[in-house]
Structure 1
Amino acid sequence: MSDELVFYTNPMSRGRIARWMLEEVGQPYRTEVLDFGTTMKAPAYLAINPMGKVPAIRHGDTVVTEAAAICAYLADAFPQAGLAPASGSRERGPYYRWLFFGAGPVESSVTNKTMGFQVPPERAGTVGYGSLEDVLNALEGAVSKGDYLVGNRFTAADLYVGAQIGWGMQFGTIEKRPAFERYAARINSRPAAIRARAIDDALLPKK
């Protein structure tokens, strides 16, 4: 696909996940940095994402928002990068499983913890993730089985889940369990991850 790839982001946002994915893909892209409350809420960007949030990408006429969706889209749009199991393969199941586990239970449970919301134990069955402890135990089991979540190679699922784990441990919303620390260190040492962090760090406001 030769259409222009445009990335809308802010270095203090989940756009860092999409940046990492773009660096893994290795395709040329143009970055538009938006500010919270101003350009992010302006009509020009609301035409891209009516939520007025980042990240988003525009690939030709195709617009994708939500970090997990961006990761999945880019992996499929540029299969030569090898960031997703082949369509129809049995590995596609666990790939989707953990990618959406990161976007669903992990995101929801960690956000609720950040906001100070505790699900009463007797009401755990009414929320999709049950409890934060359940989520972290499932996640710990997944990253302890091997170097990667799916088979023996890095995929977009590792990128998304690994970013969630690393970010959560940094800000204290995910426990620093040894399995999480080993997994995050392995994933975050990838050349594309290092490049992405350097690019975004350079865009941070100067103190």
Structure 2
Amino acid sequence: MAGGLTLYTCAGSRGLRATWAAEEAGVDLDLKVLPFPPRHLAPEYLDINPLGTVPMLVDGDAQMTESCAIAHYLAVTSGSSDLVIAPGEADYAEYLDYTYHADATITFPQTVYMRFAIFEKAKGWGDAGLAYAKWFEKRLVKVERRLEGRDYLCADRFTVADICVGYALVLAGKVGLDERVPESLKTYRERLTARPAYQRAVAREEEGLKAISA
């Protein structure tokens, strides 16, 4: 990796995937925790990322804004081969599929639900929020079936795919969607969040949040 790594994020956001991957891979990050939403509360961030979204990883001239891609990048470029599945290795296709599935299919309805049911609840869009809550629940079936008889999604070991899917399950517990998560996936989530690297990642983000709130 060229030069120092800087990760811009908000505590508990999708950027937790990147913070977690860095802890698992032993990557030294300059973690910049921003107030949420940064586009309004940290407008200077727009000079760095015109989208105003988090996370954003800066590695020399490289800039990345997709949480699952950042998690994969950190694992690959750090040489943490156990965290990724290589081409030609068993479950390579599944590794790619679940890594992308995590955000495109699972987290997407969560974020729309949050907008309708939490952030803009006063506008009376509760029915729309409920629709996306049901969408989220139905999209969990693929992961649920994949984990039947397995501890992890791919190659019988913990990988970035578990980080990416695991974050979506963590988010469900924080935003009022936990009743839609089946017990088997709650058990899977407990296994993931018991990992020391996950706990270190959460602690780092919380420390960063306290620093900007002081």
Q: What TM-score bracket applies, with the shorter chain setting the length?
A: 0.7 to 0.9
Deviations 1:57-106 (A, max 9, x none): 11121111121111122122123352101134342210111111111110
Name the SS of the counterpart of 2:151 in structure 1. Answer: coil
How far the C-alpha of 1:47 sits from its partner, in A, is: 4.3
> 1:173 aligned to 2:188?
no
- Which residue of structure 2 lines up, in the alignment, with residue 124 of structure 1? none
Residues 165 and 86 of structure 1, relative CA distance in 2, 3 Å threshold = same
More helix by share: 2
Q: Secondary structure at the match of 2:147?
A: helix
What aligned pairs does 1:152-163 form with structure 2 within 5 A after superposition? 152-163=156-167
Task: State the alpha-carbon separation in 1 of the partners of residues 33 and 47 from structure 2.
Answer: 16
Residue 75 and residue 151 in structure 1: after superposition, are their counterparts in 2 closer, same or farther (change >3 A)? same
Alignment partner of 2:193 out of 188, 198, 201: 188
1:25-64 correspondence to structure 2 within 5 Å: 25-35=25-35, 36=38, 37-39=40-42, 41-42=43-44, 45-64=45-64
In 2, distance between residues paired with 1:133 and 1:28?
Answer: 36
User: Take 2:60 and 2:145, find their aligned partners in 1: how far apart are those partners?
Assistant: 39
**Secondary structure of 2:84's match?**
coil
- Equivalent in the alignment of 1:109: 109
Q: Distance in 1 between matches of 2:186 and 2:109?
A: 19
Q: Secondary structure at the match of 1:57?
A: strand
User: Is 1:112–1:118's contact at 8 Å kept on the other side of the alignment?
Assistant: yes
**Which of 132-141 and 62-71 deviates more?**
132-141
Listed as ranges, the gaps of 5+ residues in structure 1 are 121-129
Q: After TM superposition, give the deviation of residue 109 of structure 1 in Å.
A: 2.3
Q: Which residue in 2 is equivalent to 1:203? A: 208
The 1-side partners of 2:151 and 2:98 are apart by: 14
Aligned-pair identity in percent equals 31
Structure 2 residue runs of 5 or longer lacking an equivalent are 117-125
Q: CA deviation at 1:173?
A: 1.9
Scaled by the length of structure 2, the TM-score of the pair is 0.80
Q: Which moved more, 1:6-15 or 1:111-120?
A: 111-120
1:134 to 135, 138, 142: 138
Q: Is the 8 A contact 1:109 1:135 kept in 2?
A: no
**Higher relative contact order at CA 8 Å, sep ≥6: structure 1 or structure 2?**
2
1:85 aligns with 2:97: no
Q: Is the 8 A contact 2:34 2:209 kept in 1?
A: no
1:123 counterpart residue number: none
Alignment check: 8 A CA contact 2:22 2:75 kept:
no
Amino acid of the structure 1 residue aligned with 2:9 = T
- Checking the alignment, whether the CA contact within 8 Å between 1:5 and 1:30 is kept in structure 2 is yes
Which residue pairs with 2:121 in the alignment?
none
- In the alignment of these two chains, the number of paired residues is 196
Q: Choose the corresponding residue for 1:148, options 134, 146, 152.
A: 152
